[in-house]
Amino acid sequence: MKTYLAKTGEIEREYILFDASEAPLGRLAVKIVNALRGKDKPTYTPHIDTGNFVIVINAAKAVLTGKKSMEKMYQTYSGHPSGQKDFTAETMRDKHPERMVKSAVWGMLPKGRLGRSHLRKLKVYAGTDHPHASQNPVKVTL
């Protein structure tokens, strides 16, 4: 018996559609990361990007449980003195709802070249409209 390792030319990618208003943000992020990395496929290879493209809609309606919408903090830092800004999850949802989902997903991806290539396959939209209808995405229910 030999272990199968996927090669870059053999990978078949498809588009998967997730609705952020259906499940809590952390549980949604786990499903997204598994689809991005290809861990839900039998051809998963850890050192090769075998995952699918992922489309997330309704990011503005992402579900946060408990008091997280008021207590969870996001930070940005420009690199300059006094360049750090703190936002609550409620403020982040109002201004940049896509960043909230991307931040949750990036926290679960491996850091480095491979993780960045996974993140490039993630497309997040605040509303229900997206320009990927011609790719016939497969809707996943959580």
What are the pLDDT tens digits along the chain (142 aa)? 888 899 989 999 999 999 999 999 999 999 999 999 999 999 999 999 999 999 999 999 999 999 999 999 999 999 999 999 999 999 999 999 999 999 999 999 999 999 999 999 999 999 999 999 999 999 998 8
pLDDT reported for residue 34? 97
The separation between the first and the last C-alpha atoms of the chain, rounded to the nearest angstrom, is 36
**Domain spans of the chain, in order of start:** 13-64+95-139
The rounded distance, in Å, linking the Cα atoms of 56 and 89 is 18
Q: How far apart are CA 42 and CA 31, in angstroms?
A: 16
The topology (CATH level 3) of 13-64+95-139 is Ribosomal Protein L13p; Chain: A; (3.90.1180)
Report pLDDT for 75: 94
Q: Give the per-residue pLDDT at 142.
A: 82
Query: What are the strands of the beta sheet with 138-139, ordered from one edge?
Result: 122-124, 53-57, 15-19, 138-139
Residue 89: exposure state from Cβ atoms within 10 A (0-12, 13-18, ≥19) = buried
Which pLDDT does position 1 carry in this prediction? 81
